[in-house]
Every structure is written in C-alpha cells, then in structure tokens.
Structure 1
Amino acid sequence: MKVIDQYAYRSPLRHFDPVQKVLFSLLVLITCLIEHSLLLYITVILLMGWLTVRKGLTPIKLYIMLMLVPLTFLILSLLTLLFDFSTESNSFLWSIHITHMYMGISKGSIQICLFMFFKVFASVSCLYFLCLSTPMNDILRVFEKWHCPTFLLEIMSLIYRFIFVFIDTATTMYTAQIARLGYRNFHLGIRSFGMLLSTLLIRTLKMNNVLYTSLECRGYNGSFNVLHEGSYKSLPYLYLILVEALLIGLGIIEFILGG
C-alpha cells in the first residue's frame, strides 16, 4: 500500500485532471465487464500497462509484481470453472469416472477460463492505472464533485489512513519478533505468528483511538479539509471517446468474426 501511494504522488500523470482519469478508468472497466472479447481484454492490458509504466514511470518490476498479486486467488477460482460434471464422457477432452458421473475438462470450460483470466487482469490493470497515477485525496475529491454522500467519503478516508497504521504496527511487531529469533524454526515461527495475530488487533485499536483523539484535539468535526492542487492538465474528452469507441469496436469485430 505504501509503495502504491508513493508512486501515485511521484507519477507525472498525477498532474492531469483526476476527474478524467477516474472517468477513463471506470469506463474502460465497465467495458471489460460488459464485453466478451479476448482481443479487447488483451488490448486493455497492454494499453493500461503502457500508460502506467511508460507515461506514469512506474517500474516494470513493481507493476508485474502487483499484477501477480491476484494470481493465486484467480487460479483457485478458475479451477472451479475448469472442471465440469456430466453423465457422459463424450463431451470432455479429459475425464475421470466418479461413481455414476464423469468429471473432466471440456473445450467450453477451457474457453470460459481463458476469457475469465484475461477479463480479470484487464479489470485489475484499470484499477492499477488509477491507483498508481492518482493519490487517494484526489480520488475522494472526484467523488465529492460527483455529490457522493459526505459520510461515505469520510469513512473511506479514515479507513485508508488506518490501513497504514495497521501495516506499520504489524511491521514493527514482526521486526521485533525476528530480532528475538522468533522465527528460527517452524514450530516457533507458528507460535510467534499466532502471537502476532492475537495482539495485532488490540494494538491497532489502541493506535486508532490515539489518532482519533489527536484529530479531535486539532478541531476535527467529522470532515477533512485537505488542500488540493490548484490546476490540472487536461486532455480533450474526444480522446476518451475515441479510446472507448475503439474498445467497443474491437468487441463488436470479434463478435462478428466469432459468429
């Protein structure tokens, strides 16, 4: 989280209008969720990767590591879609017999998993583009302009700040355990990790109470007044329309060719 926040503030794309970036990311994300086109997904992954790495100056190694974060959850989810059940084995490319049914992999299940794999990564690339080019304060400012309820914005802002408190507390405790050789073997490591989890929540709640008290001492009345950049660079909205039209066109072309 800290790394993402740091590169969001360092990114040259930060100085562009956050409304356009949020709108662009949401439109492309919705297009990925609605369309069923492998060509569109690959195009979105390449486009968002190019904008984030080339224009946003995010290190390619960091970007690849971030893209691999949801891979474990994605593989576990795709395994449930890859295998299918049927009373006949003719529809499967590979199958095993289980009691009165067959469990196997079919051509259709492979296609579904392939489309879902690229759809997820295309959607994730849209979110990473926004997170690595726009600080959280600017994103909340956009939702404020769109008349999002104030209490939701305040909750989002507080949760976002308390995430860093949680991470710092966990890192400090973990470093202290390592310094005391708490992970020198497997059994001791399990015990140390259990102690870390059991005390982490208590310490985090105490830290949150201290931070909230400090906010009240500084006149916090339920709303944050944050300074924002006075002016942003802006691109013609025609560019956004052309990109969206191109993506929709790719989906239509693949649908026509596939049909």
Structure 2
Amino acid sequence: MIREFDRFAYDNRLRTWRAEWKLAMALILLVLGMISSWREQLLIMAGMTYWIIGRAGVPLSLYGKAMAAASVFLGVSLLTMVISISLPFHLSISYSQLRPAAELAVRSLAAWSCLFFLLITTPAPEWFAVLRRCRLPAAVIELCFLMYRFIFLLEQAAAELWLALRARNGGTHWRHGGMLMYQLWLKAGQSYEALGRALTARGGIDSFVYRHQPLDTKPHSIDMAAGAALIGLLLGMVWWKG
C-alpha cells in the first residue's frame, strides 16, 4: 500500500497544484479540526474526501484502506479509555468514557484525512524542497529523507521474507509470524547499514540534492472557491460557538 501511495502522489489530478497551496490548505484545516467540535470535524473529513477522491482521482478502495488502517490503530488505542482490567481478572466498561472516546476518534480521523491529503497528492521530494524554502534546519530535512527511504527498505524486506515463507508452505502457525518479525528485524538492520555505507561512500547526506520543478498550472478557480468556502464555513461555525 505504501508504493500505491507513492505512485498516486506522482499521478493524480491535483499534481498541478503547487505544494505550498496544498500545505497551506491542509494545515489550516488541521488546526481548525483540532479546535472545533465533532460536527466541524465531520465536515473537514467530507471536504478532504471530495478533494482526494473527487478531485485528485484517488480510488475509493485505496482511500478506504488508508482510513481503515488508521481506524484499527485508533480503535486499539481507544480501548484503554473504555475498558479497564482489575484483579482478579475482570473486565469492565466505563460508559462515561464512550463519548470522549468517540469525539477523540472523530478528531483523529479528521486530522489523518488532512495528512493523507498531503501524502497522496504530492511527491516527497517536493515536500523536502518546501521544507528547505521554509528555512528548516538541514538536519531535520535529512532525517525526514532517511525515514522516507527506510520505509521502502522495510516494506521490501517484509515482502521478500513473506514470499520466502509462503514458498516453504509456511505462514499458518503463530510461530511463523514471530519468526518473520525476527528475520525482518535482522534484514532491516542490514539494509540500514547498507544505506549508511552508501551515504558514506557518497560523502554523506549533504550530497543529496532535492529538486523542485515548479509547475505553471495553478489551482482551478472552482477548487480555490471550494477551499475558501469550506475554510470560511468552518471559521464561522467556530466563531459562532464562541
């Protein structure tokens, strides 16, 4: 799924937007989502769905997988708010925490939709170029680059190990999962060391150049009007509630 994200970042209908426009809109909606109520957060999710699926042309199945993955991790973490365990082993549900947990879930999904909009519509090298123009420290940019590169190394290692395990008719017992995780840890460490040696051979991470090719096409007027209308509506709702 990571490679699908990266492919659509280069091949989507919002590719002609400048990265600064998308970053500004996503950050404004992210901040509004953090300070608003669940109604405004649902509106933000609807707006991001419109731009991701309707305007960028990202398949609904891919967007659904991303939201489902975020929901799984979010659901596991929210269980600690709702379920309590006491000794001797006894499970109890705190019904008073159901509403705060639901509100936190909506806020988190709204924030994730804003971040996913940035992830799926703009290639990573353009973000590195934007960070450089924002005068961020070089160490921060290089760290982001290394994390981005290591994600693909980790995914490739996991895919190769899983294919090798299935080729041996494995993968049906829980021990196979533990073995896969252990081998993945070792292989990821080896890949990271190989990347470090490659960087050292090239003179360090300072040798990398982040290219940003400016795009002449600006956002369509209908997109700008829709974004301004959504932000204005959210600001009005937040101001009306005090």
Coarse TM-score class (shorter-chain normalised): 0.7 to 0.9
Aligned to 2:88: none
Aligned to 2:213: 229
Contact 1:182 1:192 in 2 (8 A): yes
1:244 aligned residue (231, 238, 242): 231
Aligned to 2:30: 29
User: 1:179 aligned to 2:167?
Assistant: yes
Q: What percent of counterpart residues are identical?
A: 26
Between 1:174-183 and 1:217-226, the stretch displaced more is: 217-226
Contact 2:40 2:234 in 1 (8 A): yes
Contact 1:39 1:251 in 2 (8 A): no
Shift of 1:144: 1.1
SS at match of 1:231: coil
Give the number of the structure whose alpha-carbon radius of gyration is greater.
1
Alignment-mate amino acid for residue 114 of structure 1 = A
Give TM-score, length-normalised by structure 1. Answer: 0.79
Aligned to 1:97: none
Query: Which 5+ residue runs of structure 2 have no aligned equivalent?
Result: 85-91
CA offset digits 1:63-104 (Å, max 9, x no partner): 1111111212322343444469xxxxxxxxxxxxxxxxx974
Contact 1:28 1:244 in 2 (8 A): yes
Shift of 1:39: 1.9
> Using a 3 Å threshold, how does the CA distance of structure 1 residues 212 and 48 change in structure 2: closer, same or farther?
same
Count of aligned pairs between the two proteins: 231
Contact 2:129 2:210 in 1 (8 A): no
> Using a 3 Å threshold, how does the CA distance of structure 1 residues 105 and 250 change in structure 2: closer, same or farther?
same
Query: Which 5+ residue runs of structure 1 have no aligned equivalent?
Result: 85-101
User: 1:167 aligned to 2:125?
Assistant: no
Structure 1 segment 121-200 matched on structure 2, within 5 A: 121-183=109-171, 185-186=172-173, 190-200=174-184
Alignment-mate amino acid for residue 212 of structure 1 = G
Q: What is the distance in 1 between the residues matched to 2:115 and 2:65?
A: 15
CA offset digits 1:81-137 (Å, max 9, x no partner): 4469xxxxxxxxxxxxxxxxx97424xx44323322221111111011111101111
Between 1:3-12 and 1:194-203, the stretch displaced more is: 194-203
Alignment-mate amino acid for residue 196 of structure 1 = L
> Using a 3 Å threshold, how does the CA distance of structure 1 residues 20 and 208 change in structure 2: closer, same or farther?
same
> Using a 3 Å threshold, how does the CA distance of structure 1 residues 219 and 59 change in structure 2: closer, same or farther?
same
Shift of 1:220: 4.6
User: 1:105 aligned to 2:95?
Assistant: yes
Shift of 1:165: 0.8
Alignment-mate amino acid for residue 3 of structure 2 = K
Q: CA RMSD in A?
A: 2.6
Q: What is the distance in 2 between the residues matched to 1:194 and 1:112?
A: 35
Structure 1 segment 9-88 matched on structure 2, within 5 A: 9-35=10-36, 37-82=37-82
Shift of 1:166: 1.1
> Using a 3 Å threshold, how does the CA distance of structure 1 residues 251 and 58 change in structure 2: closer, same or farther?
same
